[in-house]
Amino acid sequence: QSTWGKIMSAKSSSLSCTTQIALAGAITGGLALGLSLYNFFQSRKSRTIMKTGSKAVPVYFPAHIYNGVVYVSGQVALKDGKLIEGDFAAQARQAMLNVETVLKNSGSSLDKVLKANCYISDMAEYATFNEIYKSFFNPDLLPARVCVVAKQLPLGALVEIDVVATL
């Protein structure tokens, strides 16, 4: 029986499909290909989608978890499915609270944020944003960050924040 035939007959064994494919790759293309195939299929199984959150923007999920990293979608100042009324500072606080909530629901926290992307509607609000932003983080664990002015944000929001964090 050929090597491929032996692998195919292993189908009835206790080996998982992922392991069988990895073994086939290792035998036919070398160990590197086998490991690459195994890692690819394992990584596809480790993706988690956070489905809880606002239904106000139904085109995305609040977060994806992949290989121990939480990717939080842009959060604006939504509360109870609607953009809050209030000035820039109120919206910045609510957007940060929403980021914190998504992280908590994902099993992470603000202390584990590695990178933040912040979008504000007016550079005149930069200092205000910085004060509010810093108040949510441990001063010794501030994440890498970019903050840019965006001409227009979803739902007419004044602030949008997305982050990447570890579990």
Question: What is the structure's pLDDT at 156?
Answer: 93
Closest CA to 62 of 116, 100, 90, 112: 100
SS3 label, residue 99: helix
Spell 8-24 as b/e; 16+ CB within 10 A means b: eeeeeeeeeebbebbbb
64: Cβ contacts below 8 Å, ≥ 6 apart: 47, 48, 49, 50, 70, 71
Question: What is the structure's pLDDT at 19?
Answer: 53
Look up residue 109 and give its two tokens.
């926290």
Reading the chain (167 residues) residue by residue, the pLDDT tens digits are 555 455 445 544 555 554 555 455 555 556 666 556 555 555 555 555 555 444 545 566 788 888 899 999 999 999 988 999 989 999 999 999 999 999 999 999 999 999 999 999 999 999 999 999 999 999 998 999 999 999 999 899 999 999 999 99
Report the distance separating Cα 63 and Cα 106, nearest Å: 8
Question: What is the structure's pLDDT at 12?
Answer: 46
pTM: 0.69
Q: Tokens 């944020």 correspond to what residue?
A: 113
Taking CA atoms, 166 is separated from 77, 97, 134, 163, in Å, by: 23, 18, 19, 10
Question: What is the structure's pLDDT at 23?
Answer: 52
